[in-house]
Amino acid sequence: MSTNRQAQILTIDDEKAIRTSFSNYLEDLDYEVLTAKDGEIGLDLFKEHDPDLVLVDLRMPKLDGLDVLKEINNISPDTPLIVVSGTGKIQDAIEAVRRGAWDYIMKPIENMSVLSHAIKQSLEKASLIEENKEYQKNLEKKVEKRTKKLKESNQKLKEINKRLQRIAETTQELSLYKSVKNFAKKFLKEISNIVNASGGSIYFIKKDGLHLAHTLDSNHVPEFIPYPLNKDTVYYHVIENKESLAVQNIKHRKFKSSNWSEYNNPSFMALPIKNKAGEIKGVISLHDKNDPPFSKIDHRTGELLASYSYETLRAVQNSEALIRSKENLRSTMENTSDTIMRINQEGKILYINSSHSNFNQRLEKGDSLYEIIPKEDRDNVHEKLTNVFNKGSHEEFEIKINNGKSTWYINKVGPIKSHGEINAATFISTEITKQKKIEQQLQKELEEKKVLLEEVHHRVKNNLNVIKSLINLQERNVSSKQEALDAFQESKSRIQTIALVHELLYSTDDFSKINMKKYINDLTRMQHRIHEASTKIEWEVVSQEVKLDLNRAIPCGLIINELITNSMKYAFQNKHSGEIRVELNRIKNGKSLELIVADNGVGFSTEMESEDSDTLGLKLIEILTDQIDGELEVQQERGTVFKIVFPI
């Protein structure tokens, strides 16, 4: 919730003057205001609009303020409720607070800043309440999410430990293994048997820490030990000093555990796995639960096996990486809709992925590439293939195949070398029909935009001429300084009316149509700002969703501007308030529009009603009505009503 213009305030008071006063004051503070003359209407508006704050009187007909407070508080306990009452009874204030009021202000309010301060404080308090609830909600979600992740991690750890325990023993030589995990399992089992260890683990070193490859103590060691390592641990000692460690009784050496748990065995060995350059690539840890402890011979044997293991491990890692790379490549090729081929220099297909869907036909190994290339493109394709095989270049070209419909493809060809010689080429074809259509559509839209911009430029020029003509007409009627100032203000208003059309035009993607509903609302707001100091006007704007081109929108806007200006000049003389209504609706089955501008002022004078009146505004209205092929009707009913009917 915020205290800017987006905040909506509902005022419930049976006195119209108070409602109007509050509404005008709060709207000047950029609040959106709803008003209700009694409690029942107020509750209906609250249920419909869910305002951000409610101002309510206590003594009202039909439904008093205390009942309104109770009902709103039941519906929305977090909505700020401020009582504005003139009863002056302490019991009323206490009862209002008991029923949910956030603040209590006495009427009459001599300083309206008291009201704005109370509203601001209440909105800020409501915002804090809302933020606190949202924070609590997010916190609960985070806790739930983290709990779920912990459960998933624990479940994954149990599955991995279970899988490690079930790996079958193998009698193959370590150098024949294709999986690092299986290698680690076999190697750890062999070294444990040789030195008579009852448990142990192998960790490989990576950038972020130690990663478990295999363990015989799956319930006591973590799968990952992050950097930095604790300096008092066995693993830190081995990696930092680049030497093995053998301890007959680990408790006497005061080593801390490297994140393992329930480790009570006295005899322990930690052996570094080194490459030829002496860099540590992993650590083997072994322990014995039984007497006797590890001997010096056991230690030396473990060191020899650890030093021997790295070259074998590297071969296994390379083999595993190669297999994984081949599997990934084949999976990618066999699951793409693009056509991927290996061809010879004559264009014969040596391999093609089974999932290809290009060229509107199935190709098989042994087919010729040229069978699907259009005749007009074969020489160009042959030239490209020749460059690939003779020069080792990479070629790219587009072809269009017509087989009931036009289909575009982009094709990339590159050399495949074996022992330094080019013996084949890759041919990758991707359909780009959609991209081509999009490109063509964008080009078409660009041309249309250019035409529209030229049209807008032409219309702007015409509108400037209209402005010039209006000023010339106004100049003829000026005979005094005051008339000159009035004429200047009216010309300014007309120019703003035309400029407003262009503001709306440039704020949308459609350069050819104006949203008349928004245009009329903006136009009346502009007039309100111009005349708000002279007379308090209640504006009513009713318009259907109608879009007009500039040739009709500008005359309509000028007509509305002139009629409102006339109302402000003549309709409310010696009056402090009034009402102006503007309507635009479809009639005659939507084939015509009816524009109505009405006021509840004093009506036309005899001078104004005369057909030969030289009033520029009325003449301009008649000219503009003819310009849109409209018919003008003037009625004198509780003021003045102008009706203009014109075809769409």
Q: Which residues is 324 bridged to in the sheet?
A: none
Q: Is 70 exceeded by the pLDDT of residue 329?
A: no
How many residues in the chain?
648
Which CATH number goes with the domain that contains 549?
3.30.565.10
Question: Is 536 part of any domain?
Answer: yes
Asked which of 324, 344, 378 is the last residue of a domain, the reply is 324
Q: Does residue 217 or residue 612 have the better pLDDT? A: 217
Rounded Cα–Cα distance for residues 333 and 327 (Å): 10
Mean pLDDT of 565-583: 84
Rounded Cα–Cα distance for residues 7 and 32 (Å): 6
Pairing of strands 32-36, 8-12: parallel
Question: For 130-140, how does the pLDDT look when each residue is reduced to its tens digit (9 = 90+)?
Answer: 899 889 999 98
Q: Which of 148-152, 389-393, 501-505 has the highest mean pLDDT?
A: 389-393
Question: Is 157 part of any domain?
Answer: no
Task: Assess whether 279 and 421 both reside in one domain.
Answer: no
Question: For 24-62, how does the pLDDT look when each residue is reduced to its tens digit (9 = 90+)?
Answer: 999 999 999 999 999 999 999 999 999 999 999 988 888
C-beta of residue 233 within 8 angstroms of C-beta of residue 253: no
Rounded Cα–Cα distance for residues 630 and 623 (Å): 10
Beta strands in 392-497 (DSSP E): 395-402, 406-418, 421-431
Question: Is 608 part of any domain?
Answer: yes
Pairing of strands 514-515, 536-543: unpaired
The pLDDT of residue 354: 72
The pLDDT of residue 476: 63
C-beta of residue 607 within 8 angstroms of C-beta of residue 643: no
Rounded Cα–Cα distance for residues 89 and 104 (Å): 11
Total number of domains constituting the chain: 4
Question: Is 279 part of any domain?
Answer: yes
The pLDDT of residue 161: 42
Q: Which residues is 212 bridged to in the sheet?
A: 203
Exposure of 386 in the CB half-sphere (CA atoms within 13 A): 6
Rounded Cα–Cα distance for residues 324 and 330 (Å): 10
Task: Assess whether 248 and 349 both reside in one domain.
Answer: no
The pLDDT of residue 493: 67
The pLDDT of residue 601: 86
Task: Assess whether 295 and 409 both reside in one domain.
Answer: no
Question: Is 145 part of any domain?
Answer: no
The pLDDT of residue 168: 33
Q: What are phi and psi of 218, to 5 degrees?
A: -65, -20
Task: Assess whether 614 and 540 both reside in one domain.
Answer: yes
pLDDT band for position 446 (cuts 50, 70, 90): confident
Provide the mean pLDDT of the chain.
Answer: 79
Task: Assess whether 557 and 643 both reside in one domain.
Answer: yes
Task: Assess whether 445 and 499 both reside in one domain.
Answer: yes
What percent of the chain shows pLDDT beyond 90? 17
Q: Is the dihedral of CA 261, 262, 266, 267 positive or negative?
A: negative
Mean pLDDT of 530-551: 81
Question: Is 331 part of any domain?
Answer: no
Q: In this structure, what token pair is assigned to residue 528?
A: 């309100």
Residues 6+ apart with CB under 8 A from 539: 524, 528, 579, 580, 581, 582
Pairing of strands 631-635, 267-274: unpaired
Task: Assess whether 357 and 315 both reside in one domain.
Answer: no
The residue range of the domain holding 549 is 439-647
Question: Is 155 part of any domain?
Answer: no
Which CATH number goes with the domain that contains 18?
3.40.50.2300
Q: Is 90 exceeded by the pLDDT of residue 648?
A: no
User: Among the listed ranges 366-370, 412-416, 580-584, which one has the minimum average pLDDT value?
Assistant: 366-370
Mean pLDDT of 483-506: 67
Residue 272 preceded by cis peptide, ω within 30? no
The pLDDT of residue 172: 41
C-beta of residue 576 within 8 angstroms of C-beta of residue 536: yes
Rounded Cα–Cα distance for residues 269 and 249 (Å): 10
Rounded Cα–Cα distance for residues 55 and 69 (Å): 10
Task: Assess whether 459 and 535 both reside in one domain.
Answer: yes
Q: Does residue 217 or residue 14 have the better pLDDT? A: 14
Q: Which residues is 431 bridged to in the sheet?
A: 409
Mean pLDDT of 453-482: 64
The pLDDT of residue 2: 43
Q: Is the dihedral of CA 132, 133, 136, 142 positive or negative?
A: negative
Task: Assess whether 64 and 87 both reside in one domain.
Answer: yes
C-beta of residue 333 within 8 angstroms of C-beta of residue 353: yes
Question: Is 143 part of any domain?
Answer: no
C-beta of residue 341 within 8 angstroms of C-beta of residue 425: no
Task: Assess whether 108 and 209 both reside in one domain.
Answer: no
The pLDDT of residue 604: 66
Asked which of 376, 398, 430 is the last residue of a domain, the reply is 430
Residues 6+ apart with CB under 8 A from 554: 463, 466, 497, 498, 501
Task: Assess whether 172 and 280 both reside in one domain.
Answer: yes
Which CATH number goes with the domain that contains 381?
3.30.450.20
Q: Is the dihedral of CA 341, 345, 347, 348 positive or negative?
A: negative
Q: Is 80 exceeded by the pLDDT of residue 519?
A: yes
The pLDDT of residue 3: 43
The pLDDT of residue 625: 92
Q: In this structure, what token pair is assigned to residue 200?
A: 């142990």
C-beta of residue 517 within 8 angstroms of C-beta of residue 504: no
C-beta of residue 358 within 8 angstroms of C-beta of residue 429: yes
Task: Assess whether 592 and 458 both reside in one domain.
Answer: yes
Rounded Cα–Cα distance for residues 35 and 10 (Å): 6
Which CATH number goes with the domain that contains 306?
3.30.450.40
Asked which of 407, 430, 453 is the last residue of a domain, the reply is 430
Rounded Cα–Cα distance for residues 233 and 256 (Å): 5
Supply the pTM of this predicted model. 0.34
